[in-house]
Amino acid sequence: MDFKDVMAVRRAVNFFDPDRDVPQADLEAILETAVRAPSSFNLQPWKVAVLRDPGRKAKLRELAWNQPKVTEAPVILLFLADRQAWKMYEPSFERQFSYLMQSGRYKPEERDTFAGAVDSLYGATPEKSLAFAVKNTAFFGMTVMYAAAAAGYVTHPMDGFDHDGVRAAFGIPERFWIPLLMAVGHLKPGATVAPPKWRFGPDDILYTLPE
């Protein structure tokens, strides 16, 4: 399947087959592909929690506008955007700086230089830290949907949920923002997928900057 086919096949479906699972090996393969998503300074400020247990999915459904797909899909992913991944001594920072030294792009004594660069971009305000985390996690989430479509699965991204309620119910630390939930599985037999929605064309989205 080439990329145009993936784009055509990828749809946000509402009806999942509750009797067809997503094997763990397939889910891991999807995530292995998706981690190649672009990332600012390669800090990769994302985590993903996997829900399979029916009881936990039922709890989540209560907090997600009672959407049936939350309990019908075999897998629900909670995407977590780490607002602190840019900070020195955090695992993302340390691993990336080690890579930069190994590749010869930075020297050990330039650690503060690298830290200053990421701090100026992502640590200046809480809003910048949030934007950094959510922007990068959105790249990752979209890539998960493409990878799942290429592997023969259907998905549905959801932002209709009680953010603070989900945080409290599942013990998610304050450092994480939750940009989206995602259902992953197979289309329910007999379900009809609506035709693709309209999209703006290139002429509609091109913006001319003032002189």
pLDDT at position 184 is 98
The class (CATH top level) of 3-190 is alpha beta
Instruction: Name the packing angle between helices 111-122 and 126-150 (round to 10°).
Output: 90
Tens digits of per-residue pLDDT, 100-142? 999 999 999 999 999 999 999 999 999 999 999 999 999 999 9
pLDDT in tens, 48-90: 999 999 999 999 999 999 999 999 999 999 999 999 999 999 9
Output the pLDDT for position 170.
98
What gap in Å lies between CA 5 and CA 43, rounded to an integer? 30
For 182-195, the pLDDT digits (tens) are: 999 999 999 988 88
Location of structure tokens 């003032």: 210
pLDDT tens by residue, 8-36: 889 899 999 999 999 999 999 999 999 99
- The answer on pLDDT for 143 being more than 90 is yes
Q: Three-state SS for 154?
A: strand
pLDDT value of position 144: 98
The reply to whether the predicted model has a pTM over 0.75 is: yes
| Beta-carbon contacts of residue 69 (< 8 Å; ≥ 6 apart) | 14, 15, 16, 156, 158, 183
